[in-house]
Structure 1
Amino acid sequence: MEEKTNLMNFCLKDMENYFLSIDEKPFRAKQVFKWLHQKAVVDFDQMSDLSKGLREKLKQYAKISIPKVVFDKPSVDGTRKWLIEVKGGNCIETVYIPEGSRGTLCISSQIGCTLNCSFCSTGKQGFNRNLSVAEIIGQVWTAVRRLSQQEGVHDRMVTNVVMMGMGEPLMNFDHVVKAMNIMMDDYAYGLSKRRVTLSTSGVVPRIYDLLEQSDVSLAVSLHAPTDALRDQLVPINKKYNLDQLMEVCKLYAEKGPHKEITFEYTLMDQVNDSLEQAEALVDLLRQKQVPSKLNLIPFNPYPGTPYKKPSNNRIHRFQQYLMEQGFVATIRKTRGDDIDAACGQLVGTVQDRTKRQMRYQKTLSE
């Protein structure tokens, strides 16, 4: 028997094409789209504005599959982490961070990560596969529904989404772009392009593609002001160096929604946190003329890592120099570290196809 079509994989245009393919009017797509994403209804029989015949047809040929939540873990600071099981027995992690009227959802794009940044615990888990559109947008669906249930209201509490969880989003380009389009669709979650951010380690060709196919906000995991150090921390820099990265970032800033790039810079003690490196960072951004703001992230330790969090003095000295030079530089407050939900700590459960996880565990035991 042919497998049923999962409607969670469809953006609105795909949904309209699907309804045409089953000899139904395309306007039905908007109805189902709203039931699915705005009202969180996954039972066709409850979609009351559809005819009985259409509901029966959908039950015969289509399905709505939502990823399963394995556990829902709150932090003392209000952060929540969901471990979500996806096809194949793997698990991914999704994190919700509330702050004032803002609620930021950090979602995953891959099971594990294709890259292997030396300081990131997700990378040590290896890689299994890319997530489907349904598995990406399913994280948003799950968070919105559970948060609404928790508060006893239906109003959306997810105000911002960042593609900053497990995985490198640009290595799963097509599925990520389609999922972000659903997030921004007025018939789904209606998020502004300013409130959807893709974070990348610097897959330069795909940033050019993103510029052509989407206009979400861009954040770049920089972490080093020179190629020599970035080659060690972010290995993809060996393929796409800082000159190439800064060139595409400048272009994206000129055409993107924010007119600037957010550079994420994880501060590691005695590695990239010296005053000399702050000066090199300023020189880089000025020389390349990239409109930017800096998000400084104190390193979050995990078992086996050789890196350490800098002292508060070193962190604030780094920030102060950047600000004295006219840059906006904020220090990201560590949230959810008691539930391993802080930046760089997401690991999930990955059936690693790369054997990277096995090699890492071997080094820990030696």
Structure 2
Amino acid sequence: MSTEVVSVSAVSAEQQQSPSAPAQQTAVEKVNLLGMSRPQMEKFFEDMGEKKFRAGQVMKWIHQFFVTDFAEMTNISGKLREKLEKICEIKAPEVVHKNYSKDGTRKWVFRVGDGEGSLVETVLIPAEHRSGLRRTLCISSQVGCALDCSFCSTGKQGFQRDLSQAEIIGQLWMANYSYMEDVPVLERERSVTNVVMMGMGEPLLNYDAVLNSMRTMLDDFAYGMSKRRVTLSTSGVVPKIDQMVKDIDVALAISLHAPNDELRNELVPINKKYPLEQLIAACQRYIAKDGNESSRKHVTIEYVMLDGVNDYPEHAQQMIKLLKNLPSKINLIPFNPFPHAPYGRSSRNRIISFQKTLSDAGFVCTIRQTRGDDIDAACGQLVGQVADRTRRAEQWKKKVAQQNEILRSQG
């Protein structure tokens, strides 16, 4: 990806070179406008000596009409378009693989750097809703993940790096564009209705890039999404949840997966640093903001159902006690096995029984429908084609094989 921050002085210096300067001198790398939030782009235009309203014009062309050629931006002067063409670009991450499921789910694998491991996945899930067709895009924020939750396939590849704003927004741009490729520019419409920052990586550990990307999602000059339709999912980085209170109003989801600290320490290791009491308190602070327009009316609780691990009746009772003072909706997720995973999926009857216990206690509790698993797009299968650069997956497979050998010897 191209750099997202331009040095206008560097551009000016290049433009002011002597005519006798060697033609082969290194050119300034073009600035990728795709990932810039509106304040960032306004500053960029002002630094160029242009009016800042140009930022809104360009953002509409990029994010509402999905135009990457400055020559097509017909409400901008030819002189400015020529200037932008010289120093800027609009560049989404390279698509190296795409697959569309028979159920309508779409998956993309993007290259975001050099090497086999510089890949991330993005999944779009369609669903019928009372308000019409809903298309929810699950966006990645990091290459790999450092948190190593024991049930998550992505964590087994380790962590490589954070994604830039252009690489994050580029996923949303491409998902929309996939429905618009053959549509005339001025007839194009945004197709993605919902975004969840729930793909590869822990979004709150890439805070600034994720924050500015979500601001672009909400911006009327870009995607104009409702703040209730942009959700950030975290495993529980408590200080950053508190920072979000000051910075943005979007929906919050918590990857809980266990109702007590002992079990959650095993499944979600970050719990050792920020245990449940701290996490629940942070969630309560997050939704404390008043106002009918706030998306902070409740927290979504994500709970993957692992057979014989966290799906017992006592776990449901512990959930009731844990969440009794937290306005929340609970989403039970059938586990999607991956190679060498040490867990199995809870039975349908067990999941339904778990749901009934929570519903009878007054909670809104749903069971997530598994989608896209024919293209490895279901929750927990996002590791896809990403190479393992830390040997964590290799070590994990070895550990599981050793455990299986012990069980066979004891049997």
The two structures, once aligned, show a CA RMSD in angstroms of 1.6
Is contact 1:92-1:108 (8 Å) kept? yes
Is contact 2:286-2:296 (8 Å) kept? no
The residue that corresponds to 2:89 in the other structure is 63
Unaligned runs of 5+ in 1: none
Unaligned runs of 5+ in 2: 1-26, 403-411
What SS does the corresponding residue of 1:342 show, helix, strand or coil? coil
What SS does the corresponding residue of 2:287 show, helix, strand or coil? helix
The residue that corresponds to 1:24 in the other structure is 50
Is contact 2:35-2:170 (8 Å) kept? no
Is contact 1:127-1:352 (8 Å) kept? no
CA displacement at 1:93 relative to structure 2: 0.6
What is the 5 A alignment of 1:264-279?
A: 264-279=302-317
Which stretch shows the higher mean deviation, 212-221 or 348-357?
Answer: 348-357
The residue that corresponds to 1:213 in the other structure is 247
Is contact 2:305-2:334 (8 Å) kept? yes
Cα distance in structure 1, aligned partners of 2:198 and 2:394: 24
**Alignment partner for residue 177 of structure 2, among 142, 145, 149?**
145
CA displacement at 1:356 relative to structure 2: 2.0
The residue that corresponds to 1:37 in the other structure is 63
Deviations 1:3-37 (A, max 9, x none): 12111121011111001111111111111111111
Deviations 1:56-97 (A, max 9, x none): 111221111211111221112111111111122411111111
Cα distance in structure 1, aligned partners of 2:337 and 2:376: 10
What is the 5 A alignment of 1:301-320?
A: 301-320=337-356
What is the 5 A alignment of 1:98-247?
A: 98-100=126-128, 101-149=133-181, 154-247=188-281
| Structure with the greater alpha carbon radius of gyration | 2
**AA of the residue aligned to 2:298:** E
Q: Relative to structure 1, is the Cα distance of residues 82 and 151 closer, same or farther in structure 2, using a 3 angstrom cutoff?
A: farther
Aligned residues, how many? 364
Cα distance in structure 2, aligned partners of 1:261 and 1:365: 38
TM-score normalised by length of structure 2? 0.86
What SS does the corresponding residue of 1:147 show, helix, strand or coil? coil
Which stretch shows the higher mean deviation, 78-87 or 351-360?
Answer: 351-360
**AA of the residue aligned to 2:109:** L
What SS does the corresponding residue of 1:82 show, helix, strand or coil? strand
**AA of the residue aligned to 1:320:** K
Deviations 1:219-277 (A, max 9, x none): 00000000000000000000000000000111112225141110000010000000011
TM-score normalised by length of structure 1? 0.96
Cα distance in structure 1, aligned partners of 2:155 and 2:108: 19
Cα distance in structure 1, aligned partners of 2:260 and 2:250: 27
Q: Relative to structure 1, is the Cα distance of residues 158 and 246 closer, same or farther in structure 2, using a 3 angstrom cutoff?
A: same
What SS does the corresponding residue of 2:121 show, helix, strand or coil? strand
Q: Percent identity?
A: 56
Cα distance in structure 1, aligned partners of 2:28 and 2:388: 29
CA displacement at 1:309 relative to structure 2: 0.5
